Structure 1
Amino acid sequence: MRSLMLKLLTTIIALSSLSLFAADINAELDQKVTTFLQKAVSTNESYTFEKAIILKKEEMKDLAGWMVYFVRIDLKLTKQEGKKISVNDIVFTNGKILSKDFVDINSGRSIKGSYSLDVEASAYNKEHLLAGDFNAPHKIVVFSDPLCPFCMDFVPEVIADVQKHPETFALFYYHFPLNIHPAAPTLVKAMLLAEIQGDKEIVQKVYKEFFDIKESDEKAILGIFNKALNKNFTVAQINQAHIIKQLDSDQELANNLMVNGTPTIYFDGKKDDTKRTYRNFIKESK
């Protein structure tokens, strides 16, 4: 009996040692990745490196011995005191080599797109519920820009589908105005103000208008919005602190999830590049 106990104790100690050794190796690899990223960022007069943060890491699906790292690099803007920008990226490493991407030899496609961060349950809140039943079994999260042509087609479609099957889906909408659409932030702030004032269908109304705004002046942009939707908002109203905070909050979530374009869709927490996975579950409600 004593001999058996000694063998068990020896095994436990050995396993514990292996676990500690693996943890040390992982910590060392993490440090290698962040140090490499710091050296890779060329400091210039516009910004300085602040830190590199590992958001998540996991073993690669198709390449043994390789890890995929989801990272965020924070940079301080030198000409705007207190301001910083964050750059999200995905990198791959086997401990000796770090790669920005791999390409599938058969399809010619980047494999970086097959990796993504999952949406946490906190994103499913009533403030962002656009359609469907909050307690529905399937959750859809959409990041969208009202001036994005692809969003103009997709968002009304997914809203209509969810409205037809509210017992199956809950649709959560997040604003993500793109830099390529200078008028989008103004339009989004006006949408947020309208919603605060009780217009719960403002998203549907805006997408129905199919806005194509070339203006860059905020007052002119707001004038187009007001005329189309029978509002009388002022520039001061849409730039109230609580509206800016709400827009920043939406964009922060998008940045944390490494959202780069619109529309970006998540179904039950997983990024859905097809944007059509939810339709497979419509049959459940029939």
Structure 2
Amino acid sequence: MSLMSKLLTSTLIATIALNANNVPDTKKLTKYVKRNVVKNPQVKVNGVTVIEAKTHKDLPGWTVLLTTIDLTYQKKEIHAPEVMFVKDGLITGNLVSIKTGRSYRNEIKPTVPETIYDDAHLLFGNKDAKHKILVFSDPMCPFCQEVVPEIFKAAKEHPEVISVYYYHLPLRRIHPVSDILTRVMHVAQKEGKTDIVEKMYTLKISPNEKDTKKVLSAIKKQTGYEITAAKIDAKEVKDAMKADESAAGRMMVNGTPTVYIDGQWDKMRDGYKKLVK
């Protein structure tokens, strides 16, 4: 069970007062969350922030609220992403199609804000390319290894059409070595060595390796890139990793690779192919 599932629980449909835009104010949302979503008495609900209100073609009349719930748990501040569906004075945390069994909770993500597309995260392609692709990835993720290098290739071959903005999301519980690899990738990109970022996707190493010396040795042997432990342990690097993970939370990313094209979630992760035909 994940930390978020311990803090939050699914809820039945509840009643709530709405304003003219079919969106409750933050005070009412906070009250709803305290009564119906957060059941753990050890968790303090500090407030709710609405990131975006959207509609969905399959859900006529419903407004989808993409929110962040601000919590305190064991003296730690946590910002938990949460989806809410609102219609005619009703609110719920999920809607499921009787016909298909499709859960809409996992079908809707926020629109990418322009601030995400900054120079520090531009990996391949031109800044003024016609289309922007945002990627959250872990180089040890098998699905990432299949998809992400192909996106890189498309941007390198069509830099005027596609620009790739890359954010690190190491899945440390599944493959601990990613903690080290992503920090190496961050430094390499900052040095302008984008080829090293690419090469991490084909690095041969145990996903459970935690010995920094062994990991850096493998990187040097397989890619020719030499870097010190001190450099990847720098505060600036660790802060950058935290910032990337915060961005993933803001975008409600719950797995890798997660891909967005021109601001919208690309669920199938293959939309880039249509851009370069």
User: Which residue number corresponds to residue 62 of structure 1?
Assistant: 58
Q: Does 1:242 align with 2:239?
A: no
> Among residues 38, 41, 45, which one is paired with 1:41 in the alignment?
38
In the alignment, is the contact (CA less than 8 A) between 1:29 and 1:95 conserved in 2?
no
Separation of aligned partners in 2, 1:195 and 1:261: 23
SS in structure 1 of the partner of residue 188 of structure 2: helix
- The answer on 1:258 being equivalent to 2:255 is no
Kept after mapping to 1: 8 A contact 2:30/2:45: no
CA contact (8 A) 1:67 1:94 kept: yes
Once the two structures are superposed, residues 38-58 of structure 1 have per-residue CA deviations (whole angstroms, 9 ceiling, x without a partner) of 23313445x433222221223
Query: Structure 1 residues 118, 27: closer, same or farther in 2, change over 3 A?
Result: closer
For the residue of structure 1 that corresponds to 2:194, the secondary structure is coil
With 153-162 and 110-119 compared, the bigger mean Cα shift is at 110-119
Question: Partner of 1:201: helix, strand, or coil?
Answer: helix
* Pairwise CA distance, 1:270: 0.7
Pair 1:277–1:28, CA change in 2 (3 A): closer
1:202 aligns with 2:196: yes
Q: Which has the larger radius of gyration?
A: 1
Give runs of aligned pairs for residues 34-183 of structure 1, distance below 5 A. Answer: 34-39=30-35, 40-45=37-42, 47-78=43-74, 83-178=76-171, 179-183=173-177
1:222 and 1:132 map into 2 onto residues whose CA distance is 28
- Alignment partner of 2:276: what SS? helix
Question: Per residue, is there more helix in 1 or in 2?
Answer: 1
Residue 187 in structure 1 maps to residue 181 in structure 2: yes
User: Cα RMSD between the aligned structures?
Assistant: 2.6
**Number of paired residues?**
259
- Which structure 2 segments of 5+ residues have no match? 1-17
Tell me: CA distance 1:30–1:125, structure 2 relative to 1, closer, same or farther (3 Å).
Answer: closer
Looking at structure 2, the residues matched to 170 and 27 of structure 1 have their Cα atoms a distance apart, in angstroms, of 35
Q: Identify which of 27, 31, 52 aligns with 1:31.
A: 27
In the alignment, the residues of structure 2 paired with residue 28 and residue 273 of structure 1 have an alpha-carbon distance, to the nearest angstrom, of 29
**Could you tell me how far apart the structure 1 residues matched to 2:160 and 2:40 are?**
52
Deviations 1:111-169 (A, max 9, x none): 22332111122222222122112111111111101111000111111111221211211
Q: Percent identity?
A: 33
For the residues of structure 2 that align with 1:251 and 1:215, how far apart are their CA atoms?
21
* Bigger Cα displacement from structure 2, 220-229 vs 197-206: 220-229
Secondary structure, in 3 states, of the residue corresponding to 1:249? helix
What's 1:3 paired with? Answer: none
Find the residue that maps to 1:163 and give its secondary structure. Answer: helix
Distance apart, 1:205 and its partner CA? 1.2
Task: Say if 2:23 and 2:63, in contact at 8 Å, map to a contact too.
Answer: no
Gaps of 5+ in 1: 1-21
